[in-house]
Amino acid sequence: MKRFIAIIVVLAKIAIPTASFADDLTAREADLKKRIEKATEKEQQLLEKEKLLEDEIAEDEIAPYRVRYGAHIGISLANAVTDPPQNSSNRSGLTLGLKATKAVIAGLLSVQTELNYVQKGAQNSHFGSPGAVKADYIEIPLLAKVELMLPRFRPYAVVGPGFGFALTKSVESVAGIGGTNLRPFDFTGSIGFGCAILSGKRLDSSQWTIEGRYTNSFVNLTPDHGNWKNSVFQILVGIQI
């Protein structure tokens, strides 16, 4: 009997460490699984971040070449170049319009087209008696835009031809209001200098613009009444998105 008890005691001593070792092994296995799961989760997060970064880089590469739209408003100081020469003073008016810009070389060269309403004219005696010549136009400039990329500012210049279509034409003088024989179609050239202020750090961030622009007629608008060419200086403020 004593031997039987001794054998049981010996077996128990052997079994207890074995069970403890099994429990420890199970615990280690569970811990290893948790570590693998965490590593897999981190790897997935890294892959997702890498994909987002790749998408952002691709977006930055594409964004500058998208067509960008904008609008501007400003004042026009209009006058006329006449022949025979005569004293002529400005007509102050309004300019407002819409524009679309497409980059040719990102951050350097773009093409820009606009649809503008411009008030032109002058105060002179070109049509017989002293009076205010008023001519309101729809103009479509086709401009090349060159810009300099700075962190938050982009100085730029625009130059190009344009087409104007007269909406109204009149002469207001002491004798009353009468019509003019200004041609309804005008062909112009424009040059301007301005600066864009970016609202963010991305290349395609929206921007505020301020610009000074000079536009002059290329053609005589009164071929049967001497020579008249529209001349206008504009100060424009706008936004581009």
**What integer pLDDT is reported at residue 102 of this predicted model?**
94
Contact residues for 186 (Cβ-Cβ < 8 A; gap 6+): 137, 139, 163, 164, 165, 166, 217, 219, 221, 230
Measured between alpha carbons, how far is 73 from 70 in angstroms, rounded to an integer?
11
DSSP code for 200: S
Give the number of domains in the chain: 2
116-145, pLDDT tens digit by residue? 999 999 998 888 778 889 999 999 999 999
Same domain membership, residue 169 and residue 188: yes
**What integer pLDDT is reported at residue 233 of this predicted model?**
98
**What integer pLDDT is reported at residue 155 of this predicted model?**
97
Pairing of strands 176-178, 131-147: unpaired
Same domain membership, residue 75 and residue 9: no
Q: Quote the domain boundaries for residue 162.
A: 66-240
Measured between alpha carbons, how far is 154 from 44 in angstroms, rounded to an integer?
40
**What integer pLDDT is reported at residue 162 of this predicted model?**
98
**What integer pLDDT is reported at residue 26 of this predicted model?**
77
Show the low-confidence residues of the chain (pLDDT under 50). Answer: none
Which of 34, 62, 90 terminates a domain? The answer is 62
**What integer pLDDT is reported at residue 5 of this predicted model?**
59
**Residue found under tokens 């608008």:** 221
**What integer pLDDT is reported at residue 164 of this predicted model?**
97
**Chain Cα centroid distance, residue 173:** 43
Same domain membership, residue 144 and residue 36: no
**What integer pLDDT is reported at residue 13 of this predicted model?**
58
Same domain membership, residue 52 and residue 91: no
The alpha helices in the chain, defined as continuous H runs, are 2-62
Same domain membership, residue 13 and residue 126: no
Say which CATH number the domain at 176 has.
2.40.160.20
Full-model pTM:
0.73
Same domain membership, residue 52 and residue 72: no
